[in-house]
Structure 1
């Protein structure tokens, strides 16, 4: 008879965010901070903490619609420090009011989404690309899995989250795949000695399916009516 398999760490849902408020140039702005703490590897497409590495927090900060700063990474780092975050982390920004975020959980996978859809369209567009990034509008997605993933599975998880986002936008009545500045961050646990490291996170894998459902529900919840 085989021994029982213990539940993954944080199986009840690993992603809890705290909302903060600040005033910049007379405007009241919000941010969402997840203090993940040690023991997390994250992959993200963000200007602060992007790529793959050990990260201890994630900040999703609202900025003004006319945001023109040329140092968003430094700005996000300062906002995170002011909020009490320490160590390496991930910073996202959006012009959407993040107090309207939505959270979903499926089988231990947590997802939080904010959705600003004022400037949206299809990824494969005949329009020429720009040499500079577009201003913040943005669907931002943060996902946390209570298990360890290989680097390849982390990349796979980003693709799965993106597919689930597009599905959610279509289900919500939008005729688009997203905005020009959408960002995603996927967090997975750092493997402990003897612990399984999962090699797959596609939509039909165990953890990829849970991730897809959580992201779909969070984006649907955050997307305003078209």
Structure 2
């Protein structure tokens, strides 16, 4: 899965099995998922065709799912919890039957690096909605959501299916609920101006010293430079992970008896030249980037240097 923001639109690109409660949603194989910012009084005869126009204009082929919101993408919260990545835009200011002064849209996209059975993806919609409601109540709101909220759950359709269910008692459900519970509150705070929101925020669940969320930023990182001086940190959390490319990493055994992809010596994504190429061509493949590195005589794998 790769994601990027362009023209007021969050794009997720990949080879997904997905379920969506948004316009034109359902259960299907899709290659693109978007969340698009529209004007507050947006009206369109066919939201599905409007979304398709955005997808095709970007040059995306294949099927797609899309969500719409009046919330600015600079308030987007991206949250990484183990194998789950959650994308949230949230506002609570859209007309609602109980209180016409309380409108907005809370859009949530859940992506799992693990494979999911269809029933698990459907379960993630329930889990994400429950966590969203808990977040709203914890903030003092007396409603469970807005009238235009939507959720998408997805995974790579080629992955081996691992999770059959996704309630909050399961690992995948718990990881999702943790991210949504924290992320909805952060997204609303950013939308309401209670927290700075000059650009999207990336949060990672750290397990050091007990589980807690940290907002990652390349500016002022205490570990810089973790690979080499002059490195670029834009893709510190690599969009290709786990790439399974043995030139860039390797599998190691975990204390639980399984295996995990390790790429601590990979420096491909830290070269400024590679970052520039990714920004210009966000759908570039690992092979393409390795060729760029070869042409520019850049090392792609080395022991950490300072």
TM (norm. structure 2) is 0.57
| Of 141-150 and 168-177, the range deviating more from structure 2 | 168-177
Compare CA radii of gyration and give the structure with the larger one: 2
Q: Report what 2:169 is aligned to.
A: 204
Distance in 2 (alpha carbons) for counterparts of 1:217 and 1:142: 14
Higher relative CO (CA 8 A, sep ≥ 6), structure 1 or 2? 1
1:178 to 2:148 alignment: no
- Structure 1 residues 103-145: Cα deviation after superposition (integer angstroms, max 9, x where no partner): 11111100010012103669xx6x9xxxxxxxx9310000101
Give the Cα separation in 1 of the matches to 2:104 and 2:81: 27
Pick from 41, 44, 58 the counterpart of residue 83 of structure 1.
58
| Runs of 4+ off more than 6 Å | none
Q: What secondary structure does 1:179 align onto? A: coil
Equivalent residue for 2:77, pick from 93, 102, 125: 102
Alpha carbons 1:172, 1:223 under 8 Å: kept? no
CA deviations over 1:189-218 (Å, ceiling 9, x no partner): 3255xx343211001101111111122222
Matched, 1:143 2:110: yes
Structure 1 range deviating more: 169-178 or 196-205: 169-178
Q: Unmatched 5+ residue regions in structure 1?
A: 1-13, 22-29, 128-135
1:42-78 superposed Cα distances (whole Å, 9 cap, x missing partner): 0101113x11111111110111111121111101110
Find the residue that maps to 2:34 and give its secondary structure. Answer: strand
Matched pairs, number: 188
CA distance in 2, matches of 1:198, 1:115: 28
Is residue 2:129 matched to residue 1:118?
no
In structure 2, relative to structure 1, the CA distance for the partners of 1:85 and 1:163 (3 Å cut) is same
- Counterpart pick for 2:132 among 145, 165, 168: 165
